[in-house]
């Protein structure tokens, strides 16, 4: 099929490259001309494992092209995917859907033949129905232009896998009048469906809600285990062993029960807030008040990390801190609402001398936190440090040799913000090890 993907963020580029890789002719569209020229050269302007190579390969094959022209995309495609961002509004919990609105306002009047638009972005429930009505007014082809919702569930760091081998595909359509969208979706995803992927057809509102409810559930799971970690700390229990034991219960599962610095990124934090805001608008605000607590538990992890650092060092004034990790999670260079950078920033504001290293997120970190010091390696970040903080669980940090690191620091103190280190190895190498919610004997200071 001929597909246009609107919005070349990490979701859009991944979707475009993956759709090309399963046999479609794809055009990636973005209003940012710099981004388009980078992509045309086969270069992805952010880090996502495997995506650079896949994009370059698809560009070379001619199956993937990029343009800044909506006219060109409208002439080219029969199916469109909307993949623009829906960030948190400034000073409010609600999502800012202006980028989606402007896609519809720009593209709508150009649609003069049958087409299907699939929304992929995470939106407040009711957005799709509103866009559908607007599209009817704008598109010269009128009812021959359908709008469906096909929410995205991909994780950064696993984006290609999650697109080509998703746990499920969900397509929401209007209750009346979207006969073609499901057929088109089946055709587009035929190779994905052939491998047995569940295909869920529902209405627009349910499809919008599936996505945001999934993220709210994941956020709740993380905050649940972090709340339990606080109790473990108080009771002298071990949250990692507890999570392993819980995870054997198939109703619970072990995934997303890693206690530590909590969730960040461009999705979970803003999505739970937007969900609360939308429920409030709908008069169902009581239903989601628990998400306030989920948010509060999560944000508390960041201040607690700063407090523990102060407690371990006696003060923060003039203390040298080596911070390992800046991305919101490993295998990503994304620093949007990164817990790691938040902690690094708080420590510096409270008088510590902070040196940060991340394998991929240095450039992005410098842009949003130019006043922090950045080092060129983990060793360099920890040189002379009074304490080392591991704040993003990159493989490189898990594999650090505590004996080699001991040679460069001033004090052998490590705060494992992601409970990701082999603590016995660090203790054996003479380090004071501190995890989150870990048993004091193994986390002895």
Q: Tell me which residues touch ligand UGA (CB under 6 A).
A: 122, 152-156, 215, 218, 222, 256-258, 260, 262-265, 267-268, 328-329
DSSP E strand stretches across 358-441? 373-374, 387-390, 413-416, 432-434
Q: Give least dist CB 406 to ligand UGA, A.
A: 27
Distances from the Cα of 51 to the Cαs of 6, 157, 232, 263, 358, in angstroms?
18, 10, 40, 24, 20
Annotation says 267 is catalytic: yes
- Burial class, 158, CB count within 10 angstroms (exposed 0-12 / middle 13-18 / buried 19+): middle
As beta bridge partners, residue 321 has 354, 387
Contact 228, 239 (CB under 8 A): yes
Do the annotations mark residue 340 as ligand-binding? no
Toward ligand UGA, which CB reaches closer, 265 or 322?
265
Instruction: Say whether 250 counts as a known binding-site residue.
Output: no
Alpha carbons 194 and 56: distance in angstroms, whole number: 26
Known binder of ligand: residue 259? yes
Contact at 8 Å (CB) between 257 and 246?
yes
Shortest distance, CB of residue 386 to ligand UGA, whole angstroms? 26
Q: Find the shortest distance in angstroms from Cβ 49 to ligand UGA.
A: 12
Helix (H, G, I), strand (E, B) or coil at 3: strand
Residues, the chain: 445
Q: Give 164 or 222: the residue with its C-beta nearer to ligand UGA.
A: 222
- How far apart are the C-alpha atoms of 79 and 187, rounded to whole Å? 11
Shortest Å, Cβ 221 to ligand UGA: 7
Residue 91 annotated as binding site: no
Least spacing, CB of residue 210 vs ligand UGA, in Å: 11
Long-range contacts of 196-201 (CB under 8 A, 24+ apart): 197/165, 197/166, 197/167, 197/168, 197/169, 198/167, 198/168, 198/169, 199/168, 199/169, 199/171, 200/168, 200/169, 200/170, 200/171, 201/171, 201/172, 201/173
| Residue 18 or 222 with smaller CB distance to ligand UGA | 222
Please tell me whether 55 is known to bind a ligand: no
- Distance of alpha carbon 240 from alpha carbon 225, whole angstroms: 9
260 is an annotated ligand-binding site residue: yes
For ligand UGA, the closer of residues 308 and 319 by Cβ is 308
268 assigned ligand-binding residue: no
* Residue of 267, 313, 382, 420 marked catalytic: 267
CA-based angle 394:395:401, to the nearest 5?
A: 110
Of the two residues 294 and 352, which places its CB atom closer to ligand UGA in the complex?
294
Nearer to ligand UGA, 122 or 220 (CB): 122
Q: Give the nearest distance from C-beta 214 to ligand UGA in angstroms.
A: 6
Question: Which residues participate in the annotated binding site?
Answer: 30, 35, 86, 122, 153-156, 211, 256-260, 264, 270, 329, 336
Catalytic sites, residue numbers: 267
Question: Which residues participate in the annotated binding site for NAD(+)?
Answer: 30, 35, 86, 122, 156, 270, 336
Question: Which residues participate in the annotated binding site for substrate?
Answer: 153-156, 211, 256-260, 264, 329
């Amino acid at each position: 099929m001929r597909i246009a993907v609107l919005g070349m963020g990490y979701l859009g580029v991944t979707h475009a490259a993956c759709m090309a890789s399963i046999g479609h002719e794809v055009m990636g569209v973005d209003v940012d001309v710099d981004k388009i020229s980078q992509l045309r050269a086969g270069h992805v302007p952010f880090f996502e494992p495997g995506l650079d190579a896949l994009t370059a390969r698809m560009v070379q094959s001619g199956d993937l092209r990029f343009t800044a022209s909506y006219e060109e995309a409208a002439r080219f495609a029969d199916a469109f995917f909307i993949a623009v961002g829906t960030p948190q509004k400034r000073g409010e919990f609600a999502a800012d859907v202006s980028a989606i609105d402007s896609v519809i306002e720009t593209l709508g009047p150009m649609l003069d033949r049958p087409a299907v638009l699939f929304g992929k972005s995470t939106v407040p429930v009711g957005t799709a129905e509103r866009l559908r009505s607007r599209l009817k007014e704008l598109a010269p082809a009128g009812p021959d232009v359908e709008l469906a919702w096909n929410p995205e569930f991909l994780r950064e760091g696993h984006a290609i896998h999650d697109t080509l081998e998703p746990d499920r595909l969900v397509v929401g359509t209007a209750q009346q009048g979207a006969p073609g969208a499901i057929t088109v979706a089946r055709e587009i995803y035929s190779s994905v469906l052939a491998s047995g992927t569940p295909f869920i057809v529902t209405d627009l509102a349910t499809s919008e809600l599936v996505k945001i409810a999934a993220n709210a559930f994941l956020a709740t799971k993380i905050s649940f285990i972090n709340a339990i970690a606080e109790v473990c700390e108080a009771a002298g229990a071990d949250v990692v062993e507890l999570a392993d034991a819980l995870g054997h219960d198939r109703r619970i599962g072990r995934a997303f029960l890693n206690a530590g610095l909590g969730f960040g990124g461009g999705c979970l934090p803003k999505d739970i807030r937007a969900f609360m805001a939308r429920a409030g608008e709908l008069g169902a605000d009581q239903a989601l008040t628990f998400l306030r607590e989920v948010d509060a538990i999560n944000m508390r992890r960041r201040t607690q990390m700063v407090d523990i650092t102060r407690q371990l060092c006696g003060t923060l004034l003039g203390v040298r801190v080596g911070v390992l990790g800046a991305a919101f999670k490993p295998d990503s260079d994304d620093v949007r609402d990164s817990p790691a950078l938040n902690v690094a920033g708080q420590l510096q504001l409270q008088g510590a001398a902070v040196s940060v290293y991340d394998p991929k997120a240095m450039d992005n970190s410098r842009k949003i936190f130019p006043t922090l010091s950045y080092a060129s390696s983990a060793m360099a970040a920890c040189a002379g440090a009074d304490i080392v903080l591991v704040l993003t669980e990159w493989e490189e940090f898990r594999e650090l040799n505590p004996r080699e690191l001991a040679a460069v620091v001033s004090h052998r103190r490590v705060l494992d913000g992601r409970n990701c280190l082999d603590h016995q190895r660090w203790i054996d190498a003479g380090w004071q090890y501190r995890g989150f919610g870990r048993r004091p004997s193994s986390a002895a200071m």
